[in-house]
A = this chain, B = another copy of it.
Amino acid sequence: MTSTPLADLWPTLPGADARPEAAYRLLQAAVESFAERGFHATTTRDIATAAGMSPAALYIHYQSKAALLAEISRAGHAATLTLVRGAVAGGGGPAERMRELVEQFTAWHARARTVGRVVNYELHALPEDAYAVVAALRLDIEREVSALIEAGVAAGEFQVAEVRTAARAVTSLGIDVSRWYTDNSSEAPEELGRRYGELVLRMLGARV
């Protein structure tokens, strides 16, 4: 598996300050195990072994495999929310900012596809409190995208019949990249982002 190291995706990892390297190794091992076998078929021993540690050493950092899943899901969603907010706060009009948002969001899901799969397909395995955190982050992402579409409509740059459905389509297109993108995909993540940026602007009725 040739996924990007988590440290590149999440430059800071709250809660892992004490021994960041070991925590990263565990998160990386958990991501790959969950993506390969699914959460339920993965044991804490599998994760510890893949990280080159004993199960006891794992418990110094994380209480359970559910705590690892919760941290992966939280950090993955927080990273995409940060990226979305960065694009929304950027320069230019709504169409320009939407292009930036889709380019970044798409490229992230191509590069971080292994994390993306775990984050999006193992939601049902999250403990209730961790699910609530992730649901709040997802709602924030949807709201940012909806607000940008509304700004574009107000500015006369977009023509959209149902803002919520359009926002859903925009995020959905990006998220699903994690499912189908592989090392053999013909477009590099940035090129795919560029193409998807064009497609989304048209979908929103922008003149491109």
Interface residues of A (CB under 8 A from B): 36-41, 117, 120-121, 124, 161-162, 164-166, 168-169, 172-173, 175-177, 179-180, 186-187, 192, 195-196, 198-200, 202-205
Main SS at interface, chain A: helix
Within the complex, the shortest CB–CB distance from A170 to chain B, in Å, comes to 9
Q: Known: A173-B172, A179-B120. Contact between A195 and B161, CB under 8 A?
A: yes
CB-CB under 8 A from A161, the residues of chain B are: 195, 198
A72 CB to nearest B CB, Å: 16
CB nearest to A169 among chain B residues: B199
B177→A172 contact, CB < 8 A: yes
Given A37-B38, A37-B40, A40-B40, 16 more pairs with CB closer than 8 A: A38-B41, A120-B179, A121-B179, A161-B195, A161-B198, A164-B186, A165-B195, A166-B199, A169-B173, A172-B173, A172-B176, A172-B179, A175-B179, A200-B203, A202-B202, A203-B203
